[in-house]
Amino acid sequence: MSSFTPISALLGGLLIGTGASWLVLSFGRIAGISGIVGALPSSRGNEFAWRALFLLGLVAGAGLLYRYGAPFGVSAPISRSGFPAWELIVSGLLVGYGTALGKGCTSGHGVCGLANRSPRSLLATTLFFGTGLLTASVLRHWLEVWR
């Protein structure tokens, strides 16, 4: 299906780490996407503004690459027509509820938390990578729910 792209993956990762580091350096906050999105509705004033602007920046940054990134091998994601809607719904609820309960996702625990040498984040990252690997492998092959 998709192929191994080590260079763009590494460069993209460096940018992600740079954006996260710049947020801490400039503003003193952690670039944890689930936390930023999760706190958005209950935030007011500047607390709302910084979260909204970070997310706007994220969408704009991705959009720029989707539009002009073809020379670097970037393409915009296109919806998978055969992917069952109910799986997207169940997955969305699990991702939302799980990251709220565990207070972090791939960015907050996986990138920032590990960088901050947080044992909590190391445990969370190990657990969501472990269950993610297991779930994808089982669903795609042993159960053949979707390939």
Site for other proteins in 48-67 (CB under 8 A): 49-50, 53-66
Closest distance to other proteins from the beta carbon of 71 (Å):
11
Helix ranges (H only) for the chain are 6-27, 33-39, 45-68, 85-101, 114-115, 119-137
Q: How many residues form the binding site for other proteins (CB under 8 A)?
A: 124
Q: Is 69 in the site for other proteins (CB under 8 A)?
A: yes
User: How far apart, in whole angstroms, are the C-alpha atoms of residue 40 and residue 34?
Assistant: 10
Candidates 6, 71, 143, 144: give the one binding other proteins (CB under 8 A). Answer: 6
Span 27-46, contacts to other proteins by CB under 8 A: 27-39, 41-43, 45-46
Q: Is 70 in the site for other proteins (CB under 8 A)?
A: no
Is 118 one of the binding residues for other proteins (CB under 8 A)? yes
Buried b (16+ CB within 10 A) or exposed e, 103-120: bbbbbbbbbbbeeeebee
Q: How many residues in total does the chain contain?
A: 147
